[in-house]
Structure 1
């Protein structure tokens, strides 16, 4: 079985405006369409088994898309997370073949057809130098330097690998009933490295990947269209009793969506946060 990266086919503004993202499904193309020649090609993911994101729930969640005509919904193909006022963290596989000028970021609204969506150009792009090393899809991260700051609260990064109970992931990917205009979110059980490696023998780099999903029953997952978006864990601010979120991972890949035995695989932020800091320091000079 070929691995499906969790991002959407890039249609281009003209095609997207006529076809719409909802014409695609996570399994590939719609049942009445031809299978693409390279099923490992430009795919994204969406949320299965979740519900609508509420205003303010994940202020750092943004969409990544192409510049041009059409709504943000029609042009979005990946997710991303604001980690500084002018920096977005996303998946390397979303942007590895792109230039900065090929990309825009959508922020300010959870509904991609809202008039409140803010479109921001990308001024610079950094793809992880060790992406796909030591194995395919390892170190699946990239940074986008925005042309101007966005009015968005950034999220903090996880700094140490941990065992979790439940994690939360969000995005505009396939829900099983099409592609929503409003971002979806879902809780997904953490899967240990051992169980993750058993699910995907010889395909998991435990140092730079983590897994989440209901191994026994399936039913909850990120899916096509969610790639590059966040998977998060609650944390407690030392100065507050209110729970906050930390970014644990980046939606990366998996087989199918929400299938029992096939958890979602995410880039593990704690493994490469030092490398991220180095890029940010260079951009600040």
Structure 2
């Protein structure tokens, strides 16, 4: 596959394929996105990755349907996710409601202890440069969701940490979804998988002009990757010295052929939060109303 022939699909069960409680339905073109999950991974132990948020986004143009994504709690007031999780990449329509669920381990059935926060209106903030002039731009595939109230102090353990420097090593992806590019059965539990981030030359060689190293990174291990349904969720690095996870990327898109996700190929692309540090801080660091700033780590 030449650079000019490399296509991609976004990683969300959204925009094209949305679901209600009992069925799967199309909102636009069914060949554009799928509903898959962590590829080649394992089920996490209950209590791990508690910074994960489970998101359902609703659109005024598709009443009764919702999209599914992951996200990260980055402060006592904000969730970090992908822009295409809350804004239609074809039409530019922004979700009119997002259901944020915290403390989630199983989604089928939904954890009885899950904390539900419903967000509407201007509290749903895709990057303003993600969609303009009738088209989306993947280098700005990042969004913030402002929760309706600050997390109580007792829930501060849920807050994740963001990693500032450029990173090229082994990461862990986390998400919910299906087990292959063609699977039709959702995983009921949170999954994770480890893989290696590629150098600029490796990612550019595969993706060509679809990849921008300053704003993105890509995985390079076949059979170890994310897939649709993992959109907006984090890839994290683990520091054994400090015994902490720090987020280095946001799941964005994977290779595709004829509209079918090819998640097993590897080479999934992730947005770098560090490339958008100023935007994140400017839009989420609200000390005046009791909000905390995101934690940026260099370890």
1:226 aligns with 2:230: yes
Q: Structure 1 209/284 Cα, relative in aligned 2: closer, same or farther at 3 Å?
A: farther
1:145 aligns with 2:146: yes
Q: Structure 1 147/99 Cα, relative in aligned 2: closer, same or farther at 3 Å?
A: farther
1:115 aligns with 2:120: no
Mapped partners of 1:126, 1:179: distance in 2: 28
1:136–1:203 contact (8 Å) kept in structure 2: no
1:80 aligns with 2:71: yes
The count of residues paired between Structure 1 and Structure 2 equals: 256
Q: TM-score scaled by structure 2?
A: 0.76
1:222–1:257 contact (8 Å) kept in structure 2: no
Task: Name which of 258, 280, 290 aligns with 1:276.
Answer: 280
Mapped partners of 1:193, 1:135: distance in 2: 23
Unaligned runs of 5+ in 1: 30-34, 68-73
Instruction: Give the match's secondary structure for 2:21.
Output: helix
Mapped partners of 1:282, 1:46: distance in 2: 34
Deviation at 1:100, TM superposition (A): 6.2
Deviation at 1:52, TM superposition (A): 0.9
Q: TM-score scaled by structure 1?
A: 0.80
Tell which deviates more after alignment, 175-184 or 139-148. 175-184
Q: Structure 1 179/86 Cα, relative in aligned 2: closer, same or farther at 3 Å?
A: same
1:101–1:121 contact (8 Å) kept in structure 2: no
Tell which deviates more after alignment, 198-207 or 98-107. 98-107
Partner of 1:32: none
Deviation at 1:45, TM superposition (A): 4.7
Deviation at 1:246, TM superposition (A): 0.5
1:33-112 to 2 correspondences below 5 Å: 37=29, 39-40=31-32, 43=34, 45-66=36-57, 77-97=68-88, 99=94, 101-112=96-107
Q: Structure 1 75/182 Cα, relative in aligned 2: closer, same or farther at 3 Å?
A: farther
Q: Structure 1 140/87 Cα, relative in aligned 2: closer, same or farther at 3 Å?
A: same
Mapped partners of 1:233, 1:7: distance in 2: 22
Mapped partners of 1:132, 1:266: distance in 2: 18
1:1-285 to 2 correspondences below 5 Å: 2-9=7-14, 16-19=20-23, 37=29, 39-40=31-32, 43=34, 45-66=36-57, 77-97=68-88, 99=94, 101-112=96-107, 113-123=110-120, 124-131=123-130, 136-150=137-151, 151=155, 153-164=158-169, 166-176=170-180, 177=183, 178-214=185-221, 218-235=222-239, 241-255=241-255, 256-260=261-265, 262-281=266-285, 284=288
Mapped partners of 1:9, 1:85: distance in 2: 26
Instruction: Give the match's secondary structure for 2:236.
Output: strand
Instruction: Give the match's secondary structure for 2:244.
Output: strand
Unaligned runs of 5+ in 2: 1-5, 59-64, 256-260, 290-299
Q: Structure 1 247/153 Cα, relative in aligned 2: closer, same or farther at 3 Å?
A: same
Mapped partners of 1:87, 1:183: distance in 2: 21
